[in-house]
Amino acid sequence: MENYIICKCKNVSFFDVEEAVHKAESFPDLESAFKEVQEVTHCSTGCGGCHDKIMDAISQIMYR
pLDDT at 24: 82
Q: Identify which of 24, 46, 38, 25 has the alpha carbon closest to the alpha carbon of residue 57.
A: 38
Residue 42: pLDDT over 90: yes
Domains and CATH numbers, the chain: 5-62 (1.10.10.1100)
pTM of the predicted protein model: 0.90
CB neighbours (10 Å) of residue 1? Answer: 10
CA dihedral of residues 56, 53, 57, 42 (deg, nearest 10): -130
Give the pLDDT band of residue 26 (cuts 50, 70, 90).
confident
CB neighbours (10 Å) of residue 26? Answer: 7
Give the pLDDT band of residue 64 (cuts 50, 70, 90).
confident
Distance separating alpha carbons of residues 49 and 2, to the nearest angstrom: 21
